[in-house]
């Protein structure tokens, strides 16, 4: 979806640590719940988005704190993403049911995107695009305490300043600001690079894979340098609390080998300053991010994975079904291999925000032992092939870092140099809002040169 989010200035407006702790007390150790996907509803793409928003602590706790509001008409209320999500939150927080209906959000997106014929009831859609649409819709509601506070941009906002300096004539373009919720990367480029440079850490592979190149910024074509492409400098201006990484696959049905080799590159913890150049104002803002979960896809179906520290296991959320996968990332990788599921969105959460939201962990838990697993019978309407595995307290802790063997911890190496013989590109815009992979979409295929 084309974002019109230039107006939003995400602040470092984190709720206070105390506020997060208080909110956290309102959401103690809930059992993990499934979401309804009746036959023909095709809700799975939205269900994984809802599970992700709920299991990302910083979003869930902030959403709990976000102020409620009134609507002037029923029609206005029916188009409000905040109220639709709040309705689902109520089921998570207060209902005894293990199966939550996602239909309030499904209907709202249906109404909001009817003209564009996207997210229509009964149709399967793209999960990353649905996440972007939900966040953009929350942004447009502008329900923050001040004009420039917005939960979507404060948690997920990737605000960048971009410019090009010509290496031939030295002319620089005016810095342009862009705002997006998801950083996209082409998997084929990433994997090709990982094979050739196996010692590079994940963030550096991402950084090189997403490097854009532009021609001379001189607007006068008579004067502009020819036969040159210059790397675009992108400076991060706001550190998100959750980094959503969209993975763009060359095919909808990659082989198990391709899935495994990709998942093995993924690191449990990343440093954002290895992925983005920071704006000078952020220099002291270094903080690690930890992998909290992911959305996967196979054969017109989505599922999602999050780690549960109480059960010491990764869980898979497959519509109504919630199942334990295993205690390590390798278990997740193996499940994806067997089911041919490939990752579509990875979610990294800021470690210091996780610490803040978990101040309440100093309060002794009432029941330190994981609750026994119970099998729950489902209502007949739900399309599930197996009983829900009720897993006790929800995902509350970060996974322990497990660095895949294939990834070494060597220092980042210099980025690949572009080929100057590549033809100059036609017109370009540094401001990118599209949900579609923004990466080098107008660069000749195979342009990024692997050393
Ligand atoms: Zn509302
Ligand atoms: Zn916003
Ligand atoms: Zn030039």
User: What is the count of structural domains for the chain?
Assistant: 1
* Selection from 428, 415, 422, 427 nearest residue 444 by Cα: 422
Q: Which of 135-144, 164-173, 231-240, 355-364 has the lowest mean pLDDT?
A: 355-364
End-to-end CA distance of the chain: give it in Å, rounded.
35
Quickly tell me which residue has 């550190």 as its tokens: 239
Q: How far is the CA of 14 from the centre of ligand 2 (A)?
A: 14
Q: How far is the CA of 131 from the centre of ligand 2 (A)?
A: 14
Does residue 232 contact residue 162 with C-beta atoms inside 8 Å?
yes
Q: How far is the CA of 26 from the centre of ligand 3 (A)?
A: 58
Average pLDDT over residues 151-164: 94
pLDDT band at 31 (very low <50, low <70, confident <90, very high): low
Cα–Cα distance measured from residue 32 to residue 50, given in angstroms and rounded to the nearest whole number: 13
Nearest ligand to the C-alpha atom of residue 138: 2
Q: Is 156 buried (19+), middle (13-18) or exposed (0-12) by CB count in 10 A?
A: buried
Cα–Cα distance measured from residue 154 to residue 240, given in angstroms and rounded to the nearest whole number: 6
Q: How many CB atoms lie within 10 A of CB 48?
A: 30
Report pLDDT digits (tens) over 398-447: 333 333 333 333 333 333 333 333 222 222 222 222 333 322 222 222 22
- Within a domain: 429: no
Average pLDDT over residues 391-396: 33
- Within a domain: 451: no
Does residue 286 contact residue 270 with C-beta atoms inside 8 Å?
no
- Within a domain: 328: yes
Rounded percentage of the chain residues whose pLDDT exceeds 90: 61
Cα–Cα distance measured from residue 301 to residue 315, given in angstroms and rounded to the nearest whole number: 17
Q: How far is the CA of 429 from the centre of ligand 3 (A)?
A: 17
Q: How far is the CA of 419 from the centre of ligand 1 (A)?
A: 51
pLDDT at residue 145, as a whole number: 55
Domain range for 342 = 15-390
The CATH code of the domain that includes 352 is 3.90.70.10
Q: How far is the CA of 282 from the centre of ligand 3 (A)?
A: 30
- Within a domain: 409: no
* Selection from 178, 144, 343 nearest residue 244 by Cα: 343
Q: How far is the CA of 7 from the centre of ligand 2 (A)?
A: 8
pLDDT at residue 400, as a whole number: 32
Pairing of strands 374-376, 388-390: antiparallel
- Within a domain: 413: no
- Within a domain: 382: yes
Q: How far is the CA of 230 from the centre of ligand 3 (A)?
A: 9
pLDDT for 270 beyond 70:
yes
- Within a domain: 427: no
pLDDT band at 69 (very low <50, low <70, confident <90, very high): confident
Report pLDDT digits (tens) over 91-132: 999 998 999 999 999 999 999 999 999 999 999 999 999 999
Q: How far is the CA of 421 from the centre of ligand 3 (A)?
A: 15
pLDDT at residue 381, as a whole number: 33
pTM of the predicted structure, to 2 decimals: 0.75
Q: How far is the CA of 226 from the centre of ligand 3 (A)?
A: 8
- Within a domain: 7: no
Nearest ligand to the C-alpha atom of residue 69: 1
Rounded percentage of the chain residues whose pLDDT exceeds 70: 70
């Amino acid at each position: 979806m084309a974002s019109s989010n230039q107006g939003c200035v995400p602040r470092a407006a984190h709720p206070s640590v105390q506020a997060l702790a208080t909110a956290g007390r309102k959401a103690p150790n809930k059992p993990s719940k499934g979401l309804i996907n009746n036959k023909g509803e095709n809700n799975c793409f939205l269900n994984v988005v809802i599970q992700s928003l709920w299991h990302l602590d910083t979003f869930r706790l902030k959403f709990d704190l976000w102020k409620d509001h009134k609507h002037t008409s029923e029609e206005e209320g029916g188009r409000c993403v905040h109220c639709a999500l709040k309705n689902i939150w109520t089921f998570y927080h207060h209902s005894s049911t293990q199966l939550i209906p996602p239909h309030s959000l499904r209907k709202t997106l249906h109404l909001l995107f009817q003209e564009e014929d996207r997210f229509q009831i009964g149709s399967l859609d793209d999960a990353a695009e649905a996440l972007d649409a939900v966040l953009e819709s929350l942004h447009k509601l502008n329900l923050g305490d001040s004009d420039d506070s917005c939960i979507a941009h404060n948690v997920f906002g990737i605000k960048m300043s971009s410019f090009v300096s010509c290496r031939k004539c030295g002319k620089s373009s005016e810095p342009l600001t862009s705002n997006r919720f998801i950083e996209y990367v082409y998997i084929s480029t990433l994997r090709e690079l990982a094979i050739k440079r196996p010692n590079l850490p994940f963030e550096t592979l991402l950084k090189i894979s997403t490097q854009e190149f532009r021609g001379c910024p001189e607007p006068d074509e008579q004067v502009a340098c020819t036969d040159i492409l210059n790397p675009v400098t992108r400076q991060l201006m706001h550190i998100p609390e959750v980094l959503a990484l969209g993975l763009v696959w060359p095919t909808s049905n990659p082989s198990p080998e391709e899935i495994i080799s990709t998942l093995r590159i993924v690191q449990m913890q990343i440093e954002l300053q290895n992925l983005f150049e920071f704006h000078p104002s952020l220099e002291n803002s270094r903080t690690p991010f930890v992998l909290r979960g992911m959305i996967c896809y196979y054969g017109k179906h989505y599922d999602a994975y999050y780690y549960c520290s109480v059960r010491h296991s990764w869980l898979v959320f497959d519509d109504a079904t919630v199942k334990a996968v295993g205690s390590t990332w390798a278990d997740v990788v193996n499940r994806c291999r067997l089911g041919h599921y490939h990752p579509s969105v990875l979610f990294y959460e800021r470690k210091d925000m996780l610490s803040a939201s978990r101040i309440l962990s100093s309060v002794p838990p009432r029941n330190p032992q994981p609750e026994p697993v119970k099998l729950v019978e489902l209502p007949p309407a739900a399309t599930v092939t197996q009983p829900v595995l009720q897993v006790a307290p929800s995902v509350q802790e970060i996974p322990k870092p497990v660095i895949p063997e294939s990834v070494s911890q060597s220092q980042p190496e210099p980025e690949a140099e572009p080929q100057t013989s590549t033809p100059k590109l036609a017109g370009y815009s540094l401001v990118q809002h599209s949900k579609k992979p923004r990466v080098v979409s107008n660069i000749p295929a195979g342009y990024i040169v692997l050393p």
